[in-house]
Chains A and B, each alone.
Chain A
Amino acid sequence: MKYLGIEPKKPRVAVFDFTSCEGCELQLANKEETLVEFLECIEIVDFREISSDRGEEYDIAMIEGSITRSDEIDRLLKIRERATALVALGSCACFGGVNKLKNAFNLNDANREVYGSLTKETLPARAVHEVVKVDLKIPGCPVSKEEVERVIQHLVWDVPYSFPAYPVCAECKQRFTVCVCDLDCAEAGSEGKGQLCLGPITRGGCNAPCPAGGLGCWGCRGPAEDANIESFLAIAKEKGFSDREIAERFEFFAAFEGVR
């Protein structure tokens, strides 16, 4: 495999899972039509979900999940020491993801509710960058394998990667998806106001699968560059969406913290 006559580097990649559903890692084993090529342009040295091999020498560490227990902090610090580049893979790693929804509750009460008197250790959920330095964030719940492939290509060829600046909204237009915000009248009680959709302010790059499935965007990729949040809020209110609905949408993946 050569590009412009140059042999690529073959980075040693390790994939580690923390508090998560492991759905982002699973994407790495998907997109079967290019799976073999993908595996050939990197060297997998540790990927517990699909391999018993465990190597301790790696260039790139991909971290899935958020950090919710002290042993995870220790593990993450060791990985950070070994890795040249540490990549946060998916919304849980990048922002804390849905795991951060628990932070709104009293964790002692939550623990007793689930485990009774035999409570288990748990800390407020944190994104990876809130614990160690992160070199690159690949957001998404789950991540898009196409996007991971693009990022890996750039790492192999030593070219910086830039994420799309445009919002998800642009991708819906490109694939001719009927706008769920403007035109979806099927939802009961919507009275033709359409669905709430964060597409106008969420970073693109996912190819907008949710609106294509009839679901408004929940903002798993975080804000687009120069997203006009104020204008979005004004339109959402004008359409009759409540403050609570809008706030819940922003909080779902914890991807808009600090923006609103």
Chain B
Amino acid sequence: MNVNLDVDLHHMARVEGHGNIKVRVRDGELKEASWEVVETPRFFEVMLKGKHYSAAPLLSSRICGICSIAHCLTGLEATEDAFGITIPEQAGMLRKLAKHGETLQSHVLHMFFLAAPDFLRLPSVIPLIATQPELVDLAKRLKSLANRLCDLVAGRTTHPVAFCVGGVSMVPGRDKMLAIRDELVRSVEDLKTAAEVFSSFEMPDFVRETEFVSIKGDKEYAFIGRKMISTDGVVRPASDYLDMTNEYVVANGTSKFCKLSRESFAVGPLARFNNNYQRLSPEASAVASDLGLTPVCHNPFMNNLARVVECVHATHEAIHLIEELTGYSSDDAARVTVAPRAGVGVGVVEAPRGILYHSYEYDDEGRVTAANCVIPTTQNHANIQHDLNDLVPQFVTDTMTDEDLELLCAMLVRSYDPCISCSVH
């Protein structure tokens, strides 16, 4: 092959945050492939110091504008772990319901607004308003429902307001809950259509074996938990999160990178699917098999299909949760009394993009003395880099153009749905 190719994608589009892709191929040989994170650092771990426990999760939620519910809940979990608090069952269920809302909101945004334009060879979803209005309507319906579920349970989708240390500060009204349950039931048909749309998209046939890390769900496909698992056989408790992530600083970028058993690992929808597929709802399992998704899948592009499967799962789980929650009366506790104490706590939550850890150390007045946040996309960066190294040689052909290669590389990065501001925080 005597093909020469150059990709220099500055601040790539349809991802959260700022990242660059650079690829150089000379005479068909890969000379350089780099995934560079250029986001400005905000120093959240430093800003959290001195904050009162009532403010810390509010501040943490500002790490991310898409997965702020996950950040808020992880901050609350870390704080409650430090204080030795067990929240009321009802509050735990409401938090899970909000998590499902966020998973739906974030996945639908990614599926239709960020990823689908690649498969349709369009710059964005906007041209589809004229050419495929029914597809835009489908996306709007699913996204609107997900946002309204978050608004109802979390008080607001972006930067939630209804959660507090010790439980929740607002319990949604029964009528509104039942109304949104009915909408969720009706949305199952829309999700079937979404699955058909995504099954018609051609996923690049790329495989690179890697390690997948997620929460270990004992009884459920868990989004909030206390144990981690990897496909290489590592199982650790929440308190060992540092040994599960092994963050290190890189010279050419503002985000840290991570590793576990190998040079890199992956987190996110495909990692959760690979580790916890036996615990998917029957409806979600059926969609996975229709989409040809089987564990352990090592093709990162299949994250796009794992998102569809998780949307189905989250919808059915949300319906069940609402039915259980409507059994509580207004007298049932939704928060417990908080007594701060000195100590360290760890929160572990599956954000839409993968497993998220916050650890806060508190003094006896309930003020943060040290904080650490390990972000899903931070854990994915090294894996993205190694994927790029392998992807380019596998797919370069004599007839490939710079634009073809740019699209392929951007699609790879986008399949992780990176949250780059988050990863730098």
Contacts and interface: CB of A to CB of B under 8 A. Distances in A.
Interface of A: 17-27, 29-30, 32-33, 35-36, 39-40, 44, 47-54, 68-69, 72, 97-99, 101-102, 105, 107, 110-111, 113-116, 118, 120, 122, 141-142, 186-189, 209-210, 212-215, 218, 245, 248, 252
Interface of B: 11, 13-18, 40-43, 45-47, 49, 51-52, 54-55, 58-59, 62-66, 68, 109, 113-114, 117, 123-126, 129, 136, 140-141, 143-144, 147, 154-162, 164, 166, 168-170, 249-251, 254, 335-339, 421-422
Contacts of A22: 16-17, 65-66, 421
Contacts of B45: 113-114
A215 B155 contact: yes
A53 B254 CA distance: 26
Nearest to B114: A50
A113 B41 CA distance: 13
A40 B154 CA distance: 31
Given A98-B62, A213-B162, A122 B41 contact: yes
B113 A213 contact: no
List the 9 shortest-distance A-B pairs measured between CB atoms, nearest first: A23-B65, A213-B155, A214-B169, A51-B124, A213-B161, A32-B144, A213-B162, A21-B65, A188-B338
B250 A118 contact: yes
Contact of A52 (B62, B123, B339): B123
Contacts of A210: 155-156, 161
A125 B128 CA distance: 39
A101 B47 contact: yes
Given A52-B117, A105-B46, A110-B43, A23 B66 contact: yes
A26 B140 contact: no
Contact of A122 (B40, B54, B159): B40
B140 A118 contact: no
Contacts of B42: 19, 68, 99, 102
B46 A186 contact: no
A113 B370 CA distance: 11
Given A50-B113, A50-B125, A214-B169, A35 B140 contact: yes
Contacts of A29: 109, 113
A108 to B, nearest CB: 11
A19 to B, nearest CB: 4
A212 B169 contact: no
Given A22-B65, A102-B46, 16 more contacts: A22-B16, A35-B140, A36-B140, A49-B15, A50-B126, A51-B14, A51-B126, A52-B13, A68-B40, A68-B41, A102-B42, A105-B46, A116-B249, A122-B41, A213-B156, A248-B55
Nearest to B160: A213
A110 B46 contact: yes
Contact of A215 (B126, B147, B161, B166): B161
A154 to B, nearest CB: 23
Contacts of B14: 48-52
A21 B63 contact: yes
Nearest to B148: A32
Contact of A209 (B11, B141, B156): B156
Contacts of B336: 188
Contacts of B55: 248, 252
Contact of B123 (A30, A53, A102, A142): A53
A188 B155 contact: no
8 contacts: A18-B40, A21-B62, A35-B140, A50-B113, A51-B124, A212-B155, A213-B170, A215-B162
A179 B329 CA distance: 22
A24 to B, nearest CB: 7
B66 A113 contact: no
A32 B140 contact: yes
Contacts of B52: 245, 248
Nearest to A98: B62
Nearest to B125: A50
A39 B143 contact: no
A252 B42 CA distance: 14
A105 to B, nearest CB: 5
B41 A114 contact: yes
Contacts of B155: 209-210, 212-215
Contacts of A120: 41, 254
Question: Among A48, A107, A214, A252, which residue has the most Cβ atoms of chain B within 10 A?
Answer: A214
A214 B338 contact: no
Contact of B249 (A48, A118, A186): A118
Given A102-B43, A105-B46, A186-B335, A44 B126 contact: yes
Contacts of B339: 188
A188 B335 CA distance: 9
A14 B58 CA distance: 29
Given A114-B41, A215-B169, A27 B158 contact: yes
Contacts of B62: 21, 23, 97-98, 141
